[in-house]
Chains A and B, each alone.
Chain A
């Protein structure tokens, strides 16, 4: 351990002596303090706080991400190019220990920088919140500067598949189809129809959701809850509002709340609901009556959500930083892996390219969803086809699984909507991002570094 810590100390020393640490820390502080001065918000305290959180944390992630890749590629590749590694590798230290020491050093450096910039963001938020009127402060502490648990109605995934299969069987019975590709397409369309029937609320119809809050039922006694909803309409770019009559709780039982609201489409709305509306089992029943002449569509995944107070903002903020730290640790493993077999500029370029692949997984997902990388014809509905689909689509599927392990965490979104990032989520992030994906890069990097001849470079000090 003494050897690994010595390498770790060396990495810190380099960052301090080359003033890298000071420069990045200064840039982060400037970004945290400067961004709120130039960004525009919707005029509400909530909107402003959300924007501060989103912009500053995104800026911190981006800035530290790039510096991490730069530093991790540089710390190993330059040691090899400038031949210092030739002295170090002749000492009684295994190459994996050199690698691990550098990784640990960069991780600790990131932890320090993240802590400094995170403390600045937190301090700024608290300072600005303290200057607001008490009522606004109260709203802010209920909606954003809070850690709220979330419960959603069942997505009915199993029901959808069962209903789809049943409808497909019926359809094929009535209209037999020979081509298997057509069967697949038919199933896809039927599935969308089934989903629509579960999401759509036609005019003058109502929809009922039962949200399961049994696990937290006891802790929610006398605590007001909040409803976060979103719906879409068939009207593209609708600017008008839509009337919805909400009924919450058990109909005609004490505490039943009913109210009509004018709400805009395609955006999230959040409103308070009184305490103690759960039934004896711990379910909260929500009714929405569509009072408009057009249908409303409540998406299954994020159309309806119940938020309940769970903890303080400070710890939630720290957990969010923890997930960002996991990302940075992965980036440093990626950079070190690239530097294990490439020269400094090439390693940096390679790591950036990997980042771009992860960030562009939306395009990859679309190709996988279409089953081809070729463009289709929107007018005729004809799907594209490419001979490389045979190997590219399975490869993309695998890539999506891996990038999903890294990207399926949204600490900034969760913070800006005041939702809890649980310890479980943080642990999962650490397991998936650092141990699983990061571990792969660590393993590959160590093997490559171990096999590399370290004395082929000529010193260029």
Chain B
């Protein structure tokens, strides 16, 4: 189950549109020009949007649609041709405002000759953190991103996935209020992807604002409250995922396995009230990510790895200073670790039409050996999740 479904909606969503505007973009246009100042490419074309505090905002679109250009404009790395950008009420070039921003670029553009510890220490210095803070945060971040055991290796020797991890760590060294992540899961293995998504949700819980640029639909779907879809430099669609994805004229009911007779009765009742439309009955399936994470979790329990470790624990200072709570940490760890069977029907496989033979098959419990354990997890009661959610929320700063 995606973390976003385990916990309550992020503060911005809960607060509706009344939240503080963190990023405001109006009429933003970026035209790249050649040496002779002739227009070469219109990367972003009259874009308007606002991002509010605590929101996880997704920039979605195919390659070359203008997502990364928008991000670079937001960060002041490019100058807009037209339009206006405000970040925390200031220009993107305002130096003090940058102390509230964390940025992970689409590639890990870090100094190859520095090791991961030095990298974090260097950026900590830029944020004018004290030595003690730099040491403490570096320690926690390296643990969080699973690089605790490779602190002395130069970043240039890292694999792409490890570089993404250290890149993510440097983006969080200042405990930013606004985190801008450009393709954060690119190059990461599924565990890393899941951890990043957990982290994004955890940050949003604390009222942090996250802007996520990605062309990976599952990333955006799992964590974003609201998205814009780019194509050709223009916004083609914008809204909450619910607004964009919901089909108001259809309904899905999910139940434990029912006896054949009960299922037939239910279908009979439904058919009696329906004059048009199709009725589908199927077994919900977990998606590949959940299945994979379950397998790896079991394997990890059995053996060590020489590569990047799975962090699976958000750095304490990013959780809002709850270091001395081992039980709570365990809970957080549990919640942020994969819970594959809890993934709901949202990720279900395509439905099949109802016929008698399939109805018989569907009325039998699934017998696949690996699916057995997730099915057990699926028995988590809503009340339990609610309690866990409350506890997690309090850990993350009490923001709901």
- Residue A82 CB within 8 A of the other chain: yes
B114 touches A92 (CB 8 A): no
B125 touches A6 (CB 8 A): yes
* 10 nearest A-B pairs in the assembled complex, by CB-CB distance: A17-B113, A455-B77, A6-B125, A92-B99, A83-B109, A455-B72, A92-B98, A90-B103, A91-B126, A90-B75
- Residue B340 CB within 8 A of the other chain: no
Distance from B38 Cβ to chain A, minimum over Cβ atoms (Å):
15
- Residue A3 CB within 8 A of the other chain: yes
Q: Which residues of A contact B98 (CB under 8 A)?
A: 90-93
Taken residue by residue from 2 to 31, chain A's Cβ proximity to chain B (1 for < 8 Å, 0 otherwise) reads as 110110011001100110000000000000
Distance from B212 Cβ to chain A, minimum over Cβ atoms (Å):
16
Distance from B85 Cβ to chain A, minimum over Cβ atoms (Å):
14
Q: Which residue of B lies closest to A454 (CB)?
A: B77
CA distance A453 to B95 in the complex (A): 16
- Residue B291 CB within 8 A of the other chain: no
Taken residue by residue from 63 to 105, chain A's Cβ proximity to chain B (1 for < 8 Å, 0 otherwise) reads as 0000000000000000000111111111111100000000000
CA distance A461 to B97 in the complex (A): 29
- Interface size class for chain A? 20 to 34
- Residue B76 CB within 8 A of the other chain: yes
- Residue A384 CB within 8 A of the other chain: no
- Residue A280 CB within 8 A of the other chain: no
- Residue B193 CB within 8 A of the other chain: no
Interchain residue pairs with CB less than 8 A apart (14): A6-B125, A10-B122, A17-B113, A17-B154, A18-B113, A85-B109, A86-B77, A86-B109, A87-B103, A90-B98, A93-B98, A454-B78, A456-B32, A461-B112
A3 touches B128 (CB 8 A): yes
- Contacts A3-B126, A92-B126, A93-B95 known; A14 to B109 CB distance under 8 Å? no
Q: Which residues of B contact A455 (CB under 8 A)?
A: 72, 75, 77-78
CA distance A87 to B79 in the complex (A): 16
Taken residue by residue from 139 to 170, chain B's Cβ proximity to chain A (1 for < 8 Å, 0 otherwise) reads as 00000000000000010100000000001001
CA distance A6 to B129 in the complex (A): 12
Q: Which residues of A contact B79 (CB under 8 A)?
A: 453
A87 touches B125 (CB 8 A): no
Distance from B207 Cβ to chain A, minimum over Cβ atoms (Å):
20
Q: Which residue of A lies closest to B75 (CB)?
A: A90
Contacting residues of chain B (96-116) with chain A, CB-CB under 8 angstroms: 96-99, 101, 103, 105, 107, 109-114
- Residue B118 CB within 8 A of the other chain: yes
Taken residue by residue from 434 to 457, chain A's Cβ proximity to chain B (1 for < 8 Å, 0 otherwise) reads as 000000000000000000011110
- Residue in A3, A18, A88, A453 whose CB lies within 8 Å of B78: A453
CA distance A14 to B98 in the complex (A): 25
- Residue B317 CB within 8 A of the other chain: no
- Residue A123 CB within 8 A of the other chain: no
A453 touches B126 (CB 8 A): no
Q: Which residues of B contact A312 (CB under 8 A)?
A: none
- Contacts A89-B76, A453-B78 known; A2 to B125 CB distance under 8 Å? yes
Q: Which residues of B contact A85 (CB under 8 A)?
A: 109
CA distance A455 to B72 in the complex (A): 7
Number of interface residues of B (CB under 8 A): 34
Q: Which residue of B lies closest to A3 (CB)?
A: B126
Distance from B107 Cβ to chain A, minimum over Cβ atoms (Å):
5
- Contacts A13-B113, A94-B95 known; A459 to B107 CB distance under 8 Å? yes
B77 touches A93 (CB 8 A): no
CA distance A459 to B112 in the complex (A): 13
Q: Which residue of B lies closest to A94 (CB)?
A: B95
Q: Which residue of A lies closest to B113 (CB)?
A: A17
- Residue in A5, A14, A90 whose CB lies within 8 Å of B111: A14
A13 touches B77 (CB 8 A): no
Taken residue by residue from 80 to 104, chain B's Cβ proximity to chain A (1 for < 8 Å, 0 otherwise) reads as 0000000000000001111101010
- Contacts A6-B122, A455-B72 known; A89 to B113 CB distance under 8 Å? no
- Contacts A13-B118, A455-B78 known; A91 to B111 CB distance under 8 Å? no
Q: Which residue of B lies closest to A1 (CB)?
A: B128
Q: Which residues of B contact A456 (CB under 8 A)?
A: 32, 78
CA distance A221 to B122 in the complex (A): 60
Distance from A341 Cβ to chain B, minimum over Cβ atoms (Å):
13
B75, B96, B109 pick with most chain A CB within 10 angstroms: B109
Q: Which residue of A lies closest to B98 (CB)?
A: A92
Q: Which residue of B lies closest to A91 (CB)?
A: B126
A86 touches B105 (CB 8 A): yes
Q: Which residues of A contact B127 (CB under 8 A)?
A: 91-92
- Contacts A6-B122, A13-B118, A92-B99 known; A84 to B77 CB distance under 8 Å? no
- Contacts A90-B77, A90-B98 known; A83 to B125 CB distance under 8 Å? no
Q: Which residue of B lies closest to A10 (CB)?
A: B122
B128 touches A9 (CB 8 A): no
Distance from B168 Cβ to chain A, minimum over Cβ atoms (Å):
12
A83 touches B105 (CB 8 A): yes
B78 touches A87 (CB 8 A): no
Q: Which residue of B lies closest to A15 (CB)?
A: B113
A2 touches B128 (CB 8 A): yes
Distance from A82 Cβ to chain B, minimum over Cβ atoms (Å):
7
A13 touches B95 (CB 8 A): no
Distance from B156 Cβ to chain A, minimum over Cβ atoms (Å):
8
Q: Which residue of B lies closest to A93 (CB)?
A: B126
Distance from A72 Cβ to chain B, minimum over Cβ atoms (Å):
17
CA distance A372 to B351 in the complex (A): 91
CA distance A83 to B98 in the complex (A): 18
Q: Which residues of A contact B170 (CB under 8 A)?
A: 87
Taken residue by residue from 363 to 399, chain B's Cβ proximity to chain A (1 for < 8 Å, 0 otherwise) reads as 0000000000000000000000000000000000000
Distance from B114 Cβ to chain A, minimum over Cβ atoms (Å):
7
Q: Which residue of A lies closest to B156 (CB)?
A: A461
CA distance A88 to B103 in the complex (A): 10
Distance from B220 Cβ to chain A, minimum over Cβ atoms (Å):
22
- Residue in A3, A83, A89, A93 whose CB lies within 8 Å of B107: A83
CA distance A93 to B103 in the complex (A): 14
Contacting residues of chain A (340-385) with chain B, CB-CB under 8 angstroms: none
Distance from A446 Cβ to chain B, minimum over Cβ atoms (Å):
14
B77 touches A459 (CB 8 A): no
Taken residue by residue from 127 to 166, chain A's Cβ proximity to chain B (1 for < 8 Å, 0 otherwise) reads as 0000000000000000000000000000000000000000
Q: Which residues of B contact A454 (CB under 8 A)?
A: 77-78
Distance from B16 Cβ to chain A, minimum over Cβ atoms (Å):
30
Q: Which residue of A lies closest to B106 (CB)?
A: A459
Q: Which residues of B contact A3 (CB under 8 A)?
A: 125-126, 128
CA distance A15 to B268 in the complex (A): 79
CA distance A84 to B32 in the complex (A): 21
CA distance A90 to B126 in the complex (A): 10
- Residue in B72, B96, B111 whose CB lies within 8 Å of A92: B96
B111 touches A84 (CB 8 A): yes
Distance from A92 Cβ to chain B, minimum over Cβ atoms (Å):
4
CA distance A352 to B230 in the complex (A): 46
Task: Given contacts A3-B125, A92-B97, A454-B78, list 10 more A-B pairs with CB under 8 A.
Answer: A2-B125, A6-B125, A10-B122, A13-B114, A87-B170, A89-B77, A90-B76, A91-B99, A92-B95, A454-B77
